[in-house]
Amino acid sequence: MQLLKTSDADFETKFAKIVRDRRESDAQVGRDVATILNEVRERGDKALVEYTTRFDQHNLSSDDDWSISKEACKAAYDSLDADLREALETAATRIRAYHEGQLPEDRDYTDSIGMRLGARWSAVDAAGLYVPGGRAAYPSSLLMNAIPAKVAGVERLVVTTPTPRGEANDLVLAAAHVAGVDEIYRVGGAQAVAALAYGTERIKRVDVVTGPGNAWVAEAKRQLYGVVGIDMVAGPSEILVIADKDNDPEWLAADLLSQAEHDPTSQSILITDDRGLANQVMDAIDLEFLKLPTAKTAKASWDDHGLVILVDSLDEAPALSDRLAAEHVEIATADSEALFNKLRHAGSVFLGRMTPEAVGDYIAGPNHVLPTGRRARFASGLSVLDFMKRTSFIGASEDALKAIGPAAVRLAEAEGLPAHALSISRRLS
């Protein structure tokens, strides 16, 4: 963990290095993934069988070995404790309501010269969702990916998820039932993303692939962009907490560790103007390591990538935050709105002392699939629009074409494209 002060002479040098640090996959991962993608493209199901046996110790032989039925998902849902079923349903209801508000409207109008113009939105035919398996099995991620796709109107929703030694996560299956997933395959890793993108004998290709995964999954999505649409290339989790002195240090410690426990490469950052609070938070984090079940992962993250920044004034925080463009930004201050109004780049912002980032991970409503690695400068979180596309349309009357056609002819000629010009001028004459 680093402690930096903006008043130090070398602050800019050290901070700039942190901003540049990608914490993402190396060249070897890229080469490995390229090999896997090529194998799946050329050999289809045979390659999937070999990779699944190798990485998951699961043999894809019978239909049941390949896929998980809707009936099995329903059974998993029915077997949950009532309070857990209610929690899943509550989360699904809130996520669905929020994303329904994102549905775009079609446009269709006639302008002043009589030209009909507009755009029509439609869902992709099929979407593939990658759901991590094993230790990193998150039903919340399935809900966050599947529900926007269903709200968008996607007709075929396919999940791929690794099942190490054939063991599926019942909570993930229950979430698939709640979200209305159509197909689930017991395949994981970069090979699963390849199957969704290229299609195999058993797994038919999709149009968009979304969902979190490890470095190999993220790299597979990056390499396959263009063959399919993707949500984003997500890197390690990030949280930035901006806090004044009037905070409970134990609350802030838990907030910072909520992302550190994801992965050793996750990053947790605290910006505060109070040295006393900073010390208390660091002490609270050390105490949490003694009892947190995920302490090994969280401590590795905090030790290697944790950061505390002491500022002379919290007025400095928005500019620092924008340079980091973090996935999650908590503003735990007396006037969180004032700082929020100065922020430009963040995946999602959590306002006030009573809004921990974790509430957004599960149940608030907005999507928790967010840009990492400073991509919040130009990218947004997952939404229904990731599962939709817009088709523009034009309808010209004779009078409308006469009104603007000559200008189009002139531009076509200027660009040296005579057939373009002819296709318009012949209609004018």
Catalytic entry in 328, 330, 345, 368: 328
CA distance 144 to 91: 9
Angle between helices 249-260 and 275-288 (to 10 degrees): 60
Q: How many CB atoms are located within 10 Å of the residue 73 CB?
A: 24
Q: What is the DSSP letter of 376?
A: G
Contact 178, 92 (CB under 8 A): yes
Rg (CA), the chain: 25
Q: How many CB atoms are located within 10 Å of the residue 273 CB?
A: 21
CA distance 197 to 44: 11
Is residue 328 among the annotated active site residues?
Answer: yes
Q: Is 295 buried (19+), middle (13-18) or exposed (0-12) by CB count in 10 A?
A: middle
Cα four-point dihedral sign 239, 245, 246, 249: positive
Catalytic entry in 39, 238, 327, 357: 327
Between the alpha carbon of residue 312 and those of residues 8, 233, 316, 339, 392, the distances in Å are 11, 35, 8, 15, 52
Biggest distance spanned by C-alpha atoms of the chain: 84
Annotated catalytic sites, by residue? 327-328
